[in-house]
Amino acid sequence: MPPSPVPLPALGLIGFGAFGRLVATHLAPLVSLRIHDPFVSDTAFAEAGFAPCGLAEAAACPVVILATPVATLAALVRDIGPHLCPGALVLDVGSVKVEPARIMRAGLPPGVDIVATHPLFGPQSARDGLHGLKIAVCPVRGGRARRVGAFLRRAFGLTVILTTPEAHDREAAAVQGLTHLIAKVLVAMEPLPTRMTTRSFDLVMQAVGMVRHDAPEVYHAIERANPYAAEVRRRFFDLAAQMDGALSEAETACVEG
């Protein structure tokens, strides 16, 4: 097929880990990607079918996606600030939203629009495509969040949830916080049965399999960077302790009876 006579718009992607590669794969037909990640080798880029560029080149694009761990976001925002174009749009894709929104609002130049997003899926759950998967979109600065949502629906068939960083983190504290917490406990209990299992157990282990290979930074962001996660964990463990106590009392009563 001959190249399009109309050049594709440039998009900067900073971060080429597992999720950055997923982003690149789906955006490549639609934009001209400028990808930067100093921690990924040129060989790894080539094997994935992409070429790296410098930070300044990626940050100078009209749209810039930050796909790096939440713990590194403040330093990254500081580094890209001088290279951003007036009127640029910056998005993040982290698992928490309150802290990244605060960092970007405080650290990015005033003329830059900001939309905080959280794709509610990862490479494992997106292996069969993006259609029907969910993404949270949070307006932070400027009025382009709805346009971003419309693009994601039209281009990828994503289900877009417009929300605030605070509302996102409150729900994610249970949705992601409990999922990853329970998965960590079950992985620590392995080996678990694989032969004589029920359908419900198989589904639980399927869920564990979807997150067991997530980078440690993802788990730490979900459990430590979410301001509401500790409250959810405490409630979960308190209720588990109550149930354990009730079972222990019942066992004691049976023995004594």
CATH 3.40.50.720 domain range(s) in the chain: 10-163
Q: Looking at domain 10-163, which CATH architecture does it have?
A: 3-Layer(aba) Sandwich (3.40)
- CB contact at 8 A, 8 and 30: yes
Kindly report the average pLDDT of the chain as a whole number.
95
Digit-coded pLDDT (tens) for 206-235: 999 999 988 899 999 999 999 999 999 999
3-class secondary-structure state, position 220: helix
| C-alpha neighbours within 13 Å on the C-beta side of residue 226 | 29
Evaluate if residue 12 carries a pLDDT over 90. Answer: yes
What pLDDT score does 34 carry? 98
End-to-end CA distance of the chain: 81
Digit-coded pLDDT (tens) for 123-178: 988 999 999 999 999 999 999 999 999 999 999 999 999 999 999 999 999 999 99
Other CB atoms within a 10 A radius of the CB of residue 211 amount to 20
What pLDDT score does 2 carry? 53
Give the range among 113-117, 166-170, 252-256 with minimum mean pLDDT: 252-256
- Find the mean pLDDT for residues 45-49: 97
The answer, as to whether pTM is greater than 0.85, is yes
pLDDT band at 1 (very low <50, low <70, confident <90, very high): very low
